[in-house]
A and B are shown apart, each in its own frame.
Chain A
Amino acid sequence: MKTPAELAARREAAKAKLSPPDRPRVLVGMATCGLAAGAGPVYDTLKEELGDAVILTGCVGVCRFEPLVEVIMPGKPKVTYVSMTPEKAKRVVAEHIKGGAPVAEYEIGEDGEAFFAGQFRVALRNCGVINPEDIDEYIAADGYEALAGALSGRSPADIISTVLNSGLRGRGGAGFPTGRKWQFAKDAPGDEKYIVCNADEGDPGAFMDRSVLEGDPHSVLEAMALAGYAVGSSQGYIYVRAEYPTAVARLNTAIAQAKELRLLGQSIMGSSFSFDLEIRLGAGAFVCGEETALLTSIEGNRGEPRPRPPFPAVKGLFGKPTLLNNVETYANIPWLLTKGADALNSVGTATSKGTKVFALGGKITGTGLVEVPMGTTLREVIEVIGGGCPGGKRFKAAQTGGPSGGCIPASHIDTPIDYESLSAIGSMMGSGGLIVMDEDNCMVDIAKYFLDFTVDESCGKCSPCRIGTKRLYQLLEKITHGRGTERDLELLEELCGHLQQNSLCALGQTAPNPVLSTLRHFRDEYVAHVRDKKCPAHVCKSLVSYSIIPSACKGCTLCARVCPAGAITGAPKEPHVINSQECIKCGACFDKCKFSAIVKE
């Protein structure tokens, strides 16, 4: 690619690939979720039958229906097939692609349509639409147009002001205005600067960044090159989790293709601008998602955070000014630079512009990846798009922000999703994990789960975090084992305050959030644990007891036979009894009883 004009010509030629006039286009969702659900054999079967018409694509978003296949016949609307197998694929080939009649019984149906209505895709615009391993498909979808525009004379100042005016804020969690960050990095003195992409998506239950990297890697590469052009850098690093092998492989493919077409590397598109990219793999340390720890890790050290200031924009990687953004933030950039600041600015609320991607998980019917305009209510996301809790269970809480965030109770389900509203109720936007919990989840146990995580992931550099998280965990353990007192609840709150104020980095400062938010919204549950020695959700084993209702017991002896501890006695056809001294509370009898004669309290 020697000039921007050559790119435009290539785009015209490539467009025929996206909507071929004379043959079907068959897309198979092959992100990690799809592959895990068995998309590989489906793809192979289709490929054998149809050859080049079959394209692999990234995450379509409806994880519960994987493997997914989409068939677009020339001039016809697309048909989405769900839960595919090689056998079903053969039938689709015979009846739909060759016979012209879609196989209605495999189609996605109304639930699936509700999942997509209400979404607005910016960061995920190409995921599940293009082949992430073919640069021409990205180019056909207006890819590298923003970069070509920049190299055809758009000034760095104009790019930064467009980003600033769009109102884009960091999608990694904290929500710092992206344009200001770019301006700081540009203004920082120094002739050597770095552009870094934070793809260390460590928040458990979140997979937004993985989906972007697997489904549309070029959008991140293009955005980083644009950032390099805007702030004056010629070297970028992508720090990505090693737990994401598919994402790493697709990034490598994308970088190689972009270099071959001179969309990355020396004198891009024949201009005087050069920009190179290197991938660095994480090695399983959550703290490396914190920006200073991430930079220390790229430098080849233990990933320990550094005090800020100096901020990375002034003194970052290898001591040089560094611009660091998250994957989803970058994925917005080419779109907004092509469409203009207003395109993003006109979506969302007064202070939170654009869209946010969420990974819906936990006790929700429609697990998957959704992108909604800022300001959409939690109710819309959970009940309308996600279809509510499965099995008719009652929605209890949603957790956003992972180990740094908090639980939002059902009473706040009409809260609009924006940075300020979520912090006002003790949670945070976070990077986009949204875990739904129902009546069967114990909130004290959930808080303990997150503390277990932070104890493990605390880097150990500062003592408030290293010791504080451990002590918090021990207090929660005491409470869930029924040995807690009401004084312990006060102690918890006091200790949380110390961690927030004295920890060195965001990991320690936000570690108390899961405890504080559950204490605030579910104090009753804590009180039930410490005062009544009961776990209302029947999760904490030490506080649960099993007993048999004599009038309901038929004396079938099944429970006595499955009890691993020999704690159940009784003659056949007579009511049985559980000896609470010997019961290990495994619940085997409860699960097996056919007459609902066993109660858990």
Chain B
Amino acid sequence: MPNTVTVVPFQGTQEQEKELLEAIEAHAGRPGAAMPVLQKAQAIYGYLPEEALARISAGLGLTMSELYGIVSFYAQFSVNPKGRHQVSVCLGTACYVRGAAAILAAVEDGLGCKAGSVSPDGKFSIDATRCIGACGLAPVIIIDGDVYGRLTPDDIPGILKKYTED
């Protein structure tokens, strides 16, 4: 999955920066601080902008390369902004044997972008995720935290429509 540094300009606010500095302050000097701080930073900005990484690097005394080593290792960290609506298609085993590959194809067709990327208008991003543990409802997708289960590819256009129209 491509995780190259974004070209979207940084648009952080002062409140966000204040929140980030507080998080750094709270964890600095404690063992294993990098992960919780990066998770907090991603929660604040929605992704990990280089500007935020620079703050963390200075605050925790880690080099940018060390931080990038951690960020690029874990699937949940992203140095790219996400779309306004985040669509996750579960590709866990239970979903897979119940046809998740066809569901993913229908989502990709419907939004005009591939898993791991953002739609041209910046409105949607698609992620193919690991098991989310809702195997009893397989196959499932999640849009902005709402779970849709027991799907067939024919259900997808109707579901996406709810989000394309706002």
Q: Which residues of A contact B (CB under 8 A)?
A: 32-33, 35-37, 63-64, 66, 201-207, 210, 242-244, 280-286, 297-304, 318, 359, 361-363, 367-368, 399, 402, 433, 435, 437, 441, 446, 449-450, 459
Residue of A nearest to B135 (CB): A361
Some 16 contacts from A to B, beta carbons below 8 A apart, are A32-B133, A37-B137, A63-B137, A204-B91, A204-B131, A205-B135, A242-B76, A280-B32, A280-B35, A284-B75, A300-B31, A301-B34, A302-B70, A303-B73, A402-B93, A450-B93
Most buried by B among A35, A243, A282, A318: A243
Known: A205-B131, A362-B94, A449-B93. 8 other contacts (CB 8 A): A32-B132, A281-B39, A283-B75, A284-B130, A285-B73, A285-B74, A362-B97, A367-B94
Q: Which residues of B contact A (CB under 8 A)?
A: 31-36, 38-39, 69-70, 73-77, 91-94, 96-98, 129-138, 140, 147, 149
> Across the interface, which residues of A come within 8 angstroms of B98, CB to CB?
362-363
> Across the interface, which residues of B come within 8 angstroms of A402, CB to CB?
93
Most buried by A among B69, B73, B136, B140: B136
A283 touches B74 (CB 8 A): yes
A368 touches B32 (CB 8 A): no
A459 touches B73 (CB 8 A): yes
A367 touches B74 (CB 8 A): no
> Across the interface, which residues of A come within 8 angstroms of B76, CB to CB?
242, 283-284
Taken together as a complex, chains A and B put the C-alpha atoms of A362 and B95 apart, in Å, by 7
> Across the interface, which residues of A come within 8 angstroms of B131, CB to CB?
202-207, 243
B132 touches A243 (CB 8 A): yes
Most buried by B among A299, A367, A399: A367
Residue of B nearest to A287 (CB): B73
Which one of A205, A303, A433 lies within 8 Å of B74 (CB-CB)? A303
Shortest CB-to-CB span from B159 to chain A, Å, is: 14
B36 touches A280 (CB 8 A): yes
B147 touches A36 (CB 8 A): yes
Shortest CB-to-CB span from B103 to chain A, Å, is: 14
B74 touches A437 (CB 8 A): no
Taken together as a complex, chains A and B put the C-alpha atoms of A33 and B136 apart, in Å, by 7
Taken together as a complex, chains A and B put the C-alpha atoms of A242 and B75 apart, in Å, by 11
Taken together as a complex, chains A and B put the C-alpha atoms of A281 and B97 apart, in Å, by 29
A204 touches B138 (CB 8 A): no
Taken together as a complex, chains A and B put the C-alpha atoms of A200 and B147 apart, in Å, by 21
Taken together as a complex, chains A and B put the C-alpha atoms of A317 and B129 apart, in Å, by 29
Shortest CB-to-CB span from A193 to chain B, Å, is: 15
> Across the interface, which residues of B come within 8 angstroms of A282, CB to CB?
74
A300 touches B93 (CB 8 A): no
Residue of A nearest to B69 (CB): A302
Given contacts A280-B36, A281-B35, A285-B75, contact A32 B134 (CB under 8 A): yes
Taken together as a complex, chains A and B put the C-alpha atoms of A362 and B35 apart, in Å, by 34
B149 touches A37 (CB 8 A): yes
Shortest CB-to-CB span from A528 to chain B, Å, is: 20
A66 touches B39 (CB 8 A): no
Which one of B36, B70, B135 lies within 8 Å of A207 (CB-CB)? B135
Shortest CB-to-CB span from B42 to chain A, Å, is: 9
A437 touches B39 (CB 8 A): no
A297 touches B130 (CB 8 A): no
